[in-house]
Amino acid sequence: MTTTLWVARPEIAEAVRDLPGVTVEVWADGPAPGSIEDVEFYVPVLMPSPAGLEAMARMPRLRVVQLQTAGFEHVEPHLPEGVTLCNARGAHDAGTAEWAVGAIIAALREFPEFAAAQREGRWAYRQTAALADSRVLLVGYGSIGQAVERRLAPFEVQITRVASRAREGVHGVDELPELIGHADVVVLLVPANEQTRGMIDAEVLARMKDGALLVNAARGGVVDTGALVAETSRGRLRAALDVTDPEPLPPDHPLWRCPGVFITPHVAGSTPASVRRIARLVREQAARYLAGEPLRNTVAGPPVPTPRVGHGR
C-alpha cells in the first residue's frame, strides 16, 4: 500500500518522488483532486487559503501537516485532532536574515530616498546615518535572530539580545522597556502569539530614541500600527517593514506615505534558497514518517504520528 503526499510546489514533489512507496500529487488551490481521502502527509502553500485549510477536515487518513513557514498560528486552529503539525523552522533563516541586514543598511543609508531622487533626475547629496558603531537590539533570539547576528558581526555594531526568557548573554523580554531606549536599531524577530501581539505599542515606541530605526521581520501584529504611524509621520522614528497590520496594506493606508518608512510585501523569506531548504526539509520529514521516526519541528500533535490502520510499512 502506498502513502499519499500532497505538496504545494513542484520543487517539493521532485524532492520526495523517489521515496519508496509514495504517491505524490501537487495541489496548491482550486478544486481538490479525488484522492483527497488518501492523503496522509500534506504540505500546504505558504499562506493557505480558506479552501486549503478546510481541505484538512476532508482528509480522514491525514497524519502530518508540514508547513513551509516558521509561523503556524494561522493553521493550528484548523488542525484535525491527532494530526502532527510541523513548522519550517530554519528554512527561512538565511533569506530573512539577509532581508533584515539589507533593510537596515537601505534605511540607514536612505537608499529609498535616493532611488526616488534618481527617478526624478535629482542629485540629492547629503550625509546619512551608518550601521557602523550602531547599537542593535535583537528582539527574538531564535534561529533567525542568531542568523541575523552572524551577518551583522562584520559591521562593527554592538548587539543586545532579547528573548522570551533570560539566559546567559540574552535578556528577558521583561527588560525590553529599559533596553529599547538605548538602541539605534531595533529588529523584531519574535513569533506571532498572544504574548507578542501588540508588544511594540505606543508606550514602547515612545521609549525609543529620536531617529531610531524599527525593523519588523516578524509579524505585522507585533507592532501597534496606529502608534507607529503617529511616530513616523512626524519623523521621530524610522521603520523598515516586511510585514504590516493589516496585510496586505491597503493602498490608501497612511503608513505608505510616512517619511522614513520602507515597506516590502512580506518577501523576506521568498527566495530560491528558502525553496531548496523547504524541499530538503520535507524530504527528511517524509522519510522520517515512512520510517516511524520522530519528526523535526513538531509544534502540535504527537511527535511520532500514528500510521493509519493497514499502513503498508
Per-residue pLDDT, averaged over 136-152, amounts to 97
The residue annotated as part of the active site, out of 63, 92, 266, 277, is: 266
The DSSP H or E segment spanning 294 is: none
State how far the Cα of 259 lies from the Cα of 232, in Å rounded to an integer: 6
Half-sphere exposure of 31 (CA within 13 A, CB side): 2
The residue annotated as part of the active site, out of 219, 253, 277, 280, is: 219
For residue 30, is pLDDT > 90?
no
Q: Which residue has the higher pLDDT, 190 or 305?
A: 190
What does the pLDDT read at residue 311?
46
pLDDT band at 86 (very low <50, low <70, confident <90, very high): very high
What does the pLDDT read at residue 108?
98
8 Å CB contact between 94 and 147: yes
Residue in the structure block whose three cell numbers are 520543487: 11
Closest CA to 86 of 31, 146, 26, 41: 41
253 tagged catalytic:
no
Tell me the three cell numbers of residue 175: 527588560
pLDDT digits (tens, 9 = 90+) for 157-207: 999 999 999 999 999 999 999 999 999 999 999 988 889 999 999 999 999
8 Å CB contact between 256 and 249: yes
State how far the Cα of 256 lies from the Cα of 87, in Å rounded to an integer: 31
Sign of CA dihedral 231, 243, 134, 128: negative
Q: Cβ-count burial of 18 within 10 angstroms (0-12 exposed, 13-18 middle, 19+ buried)?
A: exposed
Phi/psi of residue 193, nearest 5 degrees? -155, -175
* Amino acid identity at 179: L
Tally DSSP H helices, then E strands, for the chain: 9, 13
Tell me the three cell numbers of residue 224: 501597534
8 Å CB contact between 96 and 118: no
pLDDT digits (tens, 9 = 90+) for 205-257: 999 999 999 999 999 999 999 999 999 999 999 999 999 999 999 999 999 99
219 tagged catalytic:
yes
What does the pLDDT read at residue 48?
87
Encode burial over 149-179: b for 16+ CB neighbours within 10 A, e otherwise: bebbeebebebbbbbbeeeeeebebeebeeb
What does the pLDDT read at residue 49?
86
Closest CA to 70 of 149, 174, 140: 140
pLDDT band at 7 (very low <50, low <70, confident <90, very high): very high
